[in-house]
Structure 1
Amino acid sequence: MIAALLKRQFAKFQRRYKYDAAYLCEIADLDAIGALKLGLATGFTGHRFGVPKEAYFAAKITGAEWADCGSCLNLAIAMAVEADIPRESIAALLVGPAANAPEAMALARRYARAVIENDPCLPEVLEACERRWGRRGVAGLASATVSGLFFPLLKRGLGYGNACEPIYRELRSRMGDAGVDAGTSERTS
């Protein structure tokens, strides 16, 4: 019964965002309580902890982009647009120098990348984020970054990587690292 309820919710989510939720339905079939707990984790990763929505979605989009899952990146973008983040701001964040994006989004992107890549500049970026949004806001950025990574990695780990529509791995294989911008060419898929 729990699995059926969850699968109905996943179907609504799938229709709303045009996102393949087959892996979520499989989790519900495998272990309804586990799927329910996954829903609870989603509540946490969706909580902004007071960080502005522009910064939250910049970190989430950066995580999904780094995980190299096109469908998850598209989902994060759709959620950002639904939250009234201008498409132009999202495009500026993803295409070309992040400095072209609004300042809050550029800082959140620097934060997410520093966390994901364990960059030595993390303490400096963390300090800038704390000055701007406080420690509570940093918790929101951490949650957003994890959220952007979590589902692509879960999906890939369950063997649904073919549904991930990789974006950077394919570009690198066709063009070599020279064809991908400097911010993404250091990633490993």
Structure 2
Amino acid sequence: MFKRLLKRQLRKFQSRYGYDTLYMRELVDTGEFGALKLALISPFTDERFSLPAAPYFAAKVTAARRADCGSCLKLIITMAREAGVELEAIEALLDGAAASLPDDMVLAERYARAVLDNDPELSDILDACQQRWGKAGIAGLSAAVVSGQLYPTFKRGLGHGNACEPVLAWLKAEAARNAREHHAETEFA
């Protein structure tokens, strides 16, 4: 019964996001309570701790890209867009044009890279983050980095990882589709 409930939730998630949940369904079959414990991590890793969506997802996209799982990165991009993060900003993160982003996203991207690299400049970056967002914002950034790394790493460890597919090409196609839809809407208005 419990397995069926977990798998139903995974099918809903897969349907909503177009994300292959096979590794999680296999985990449910392997140990349903272990799978439940992994699922219970999500509310924490999705917690922004009052951090605005744009810097949270800048950190999360940066971490996920480093983890090198294309389907996970696509999922995070979809969630970022759902949270209102501009498509152009996500594209700039992936293009290596982070310097052209708003200051809060640049700082969040620098924070994520510094954490992942154990960069000696992390303490200075932490100070700048605390001045901008306070301790709660730092907790949100940290949760974003953990989340961006956790699932791709776990998935790869189970043998289901996939190197970053051409996510930037997919994102540009999405932007073109959105532009066409917007143009069509304004044309008929």
In the superposition, the TM-score normalised over structure 1's length comes to: 0.85
Q: What residue in structure 1 maps to residue 164 of structure 2?
A: 166
SS in 2 for 1:48: coil
| Kept in 1: contact 2:65–2:164 (CA 8 A) | no
Residues in 2 aligned to 1:24 and 1:100: alpha-carbon distance in whole angstroms: 37
| Kept in 2: contact 1:10–1:25 (CA 8 A) | yes
SS in 1 for 2:159: coil
For structure 1, which segment, 146-155 or 92-101, has the greater mean C-alpha deviation from structure 2 after superposition?
A: 92-101
Which residue identity is paired with 1:4?
Answer: R
Q: What residue in structure 2 maps to residue 11 of structure 1?
A: 11
| Kept in 1: contact 2:71–2:165 (CA 8 A) | no
Residues in 2 aligned to 1:104 and 1:93: alpha-carbon distance in whole angstroms: 13
The sequence identity of aligned pairs, in percent, is 54
The unaligned stretches of length 5 or more in structure 2 are 167-189
Shift of 1:72: 0.7
Residues in 2 aligned to 1:13 and 1:155: alpha-carbon distance in whole angstroms: 16
The unaligned stretches of length 5 or more in structure 1 are 169-189
SS in 2 for 1:160: coil
Task: Look at both structures and tell me which one has the larger radius of gyration over its CA atoms.
Answer: 2
Which residue identity is paired with 2:138?
Answer: V
For structure 1, which segment, 45-54 or 97-106, has the greater mean C-alpha deviation from structure 2 after superposition?
A: 97-106
Shift of 1:167: 4.8
Q: What residue in structure 1 maps to residue 100 of structure 2?
A: 100
State how many pairs are aligned.
Answer: 166
In the superposition, the TM-score normalised over structure 2's length comes to: 0.85
| Kept in 2: contact 1:98–1:106 (CA 8 A) | yes
Which residue identity is paired with 2:69?
Answer: C
Which residue identity is paired with 2:117?
Answer: E
Which residue identity is paired with 2:97?
Answer: P
